[in-house]
Amino acid sequence: MTKLLEELCNAFGPSGDEAEVRTLLKKEMKKHLKDVRVDKFGNLICRKEGKGPRIMLAAHMDEIGLMIKDIKEDGSIRFSTIGGIEPITLVGQEVIIKTKKGKKINGVISFEELQNDYAIEELPSVDELYIDIGLDKKAVKKLGIEVGDYALPKTKFKTLGSKDIISGKALDDRIGCYILVEIAKRLKKSSADIFFVFTVQEEIGLYGAHTSVHAVDPDYGIAVETTNAEDAGEEDVVQIGKGPVLILKDSEIITNECLDDDLRLVARKLKKPLQLKVEELGTTDATKIMLSKGGVPSTTLSVAVRNIHSTISVSSLKDVQDVLAILLEFLKKPPRTCIK
């Protein structure tokens, strides 16, 4: 089960440079569907045609990352963050820089106190961090590294304490991408007209969902996502391994009650645990789907992930399997409308 998920998580795909991920997904989706295309913005849109309601399933291909913004005389490579990354998680990490010609170069993130072995009295800001490849500016440029190049943590997909616990970069949202591929593979009978949309540039503004929804023109949509676990400390709110997470509210959306109720009924029917979440921060592609074409009912079904906006995250395969099971059952007899 994990081979494709591992390939997806290990693929290089920050916001704005999703080509490697898209190529992998396009190859997989062509095994199961005939209607597979890439739009002008870079979204991968795949259709399983039917006579029932038009349903948009969205999962974003892009991941958080870094973009080179300056190369100093001493060869230190300064960067800007792409998406929300906690600076503390970058310190001391290995990264891969990808040049415009596709060459990949290893580096290490450092800052002055760490490099010189001085006492570290306070945590550095992003502006104080840099990538060190051990060369001066002239040699750095000779390798083809320039402003605008991307860099990502050099982290590989793996299991941790058990085969159920997975770890790696880009679990947000290669997990969702994996689930969409598995739905296309396993769903044999459905009246629905289903669009599997793998979106770009979610991490910096939900842009792919905003553009693709106009082409799809769905009756309703579901963002298949990940969400931050809240299971450290004394109070467990949202935990990994305790079931899918249905988002009822985030910073920008109150999800569609009709869709939420139907998904809850399916989970109950399958005897799958379902965690409910109301949060103050963050949002998903569901928001852009909802606010388009005069308004489109939408919701978000997620997998809980620890350390979600860091260089390495942790999640549960069982939760991934349960989201897949719920969506497969839901799509067998989906509602025609979602107004309540």
Contacts of 307 (CB under 8 A, 6+ apart): 89, 313, 314
The per-residue pLDDT for 340 is 65
The backbone region for 10, taken as left when phi is positive above 0, alpha when psi lies in -120 to 50, beta otherwise, is alpha
The per-residue pLDDT for 85 is 87
18 is catalytic: no
Backbone angles phi and psi of 182, in degrees to 5: -65, -35
> Residue for token digits 């349903």?
55
Q: For each of the chain's 340 residues, which pLDDT tens digit applies?
A: 589 999 999 999 999 999 999 999 999 999 999 999 999 999 999 999 999 999 999 999 999 999 999 999 999 999 999 998 888 889 999 999 999 999 999 999 999 999 998 988 888 889 999 999 999 999 999 999 999 999 999 999 999 999 999 999 999 999 999 999 999 999 988 889 999 999 999 999 999 999 999 999 999 999 999 999 988 877 768 999 999 999 999 998 999 999 999 999 999 999 999 999 998 888 998 999 998 888 899 999 999 999 998 889 999 999 999 999 999 999 998 988 777 6
The per-residue pLDDT for 295 is 86
The per-residue pLDDT for 1 is 58
Question: 2-63+169-332 is classed in which CATH architecture?
Answer: 3-Layer(aba) Sandwich (3.40)
Active-site position among 18, 63, 202, 225: 202
d(CA 283, CA 12): 23
pTM of structure: 0.94
Identify the H or E element spanning 305.
Answer: strand 298-306
Closest CA to 105 of 145, 50, 60: 145
Instruction: Write the DSSP symbol of residue 33.
Output: -
pLDDT digits (tens, 9 = 90+) for 80-91: 999 988 888 899
Tokens of 85: 């990354």
Distances (CA, A) of 249 to 67, 97, 111, 142, 269: 32, 37, 39, 50, 24
Domain 65-153 has CATH 3.30.70.60: no
Domain ranges of the chain: 2-63+169-332, 65-153
| Geometric angle at alpha carbon 240, from 238 and 243, rounded to 5° | 80
Instruction: Write the DSSP symbol of residue 125.
Output: P
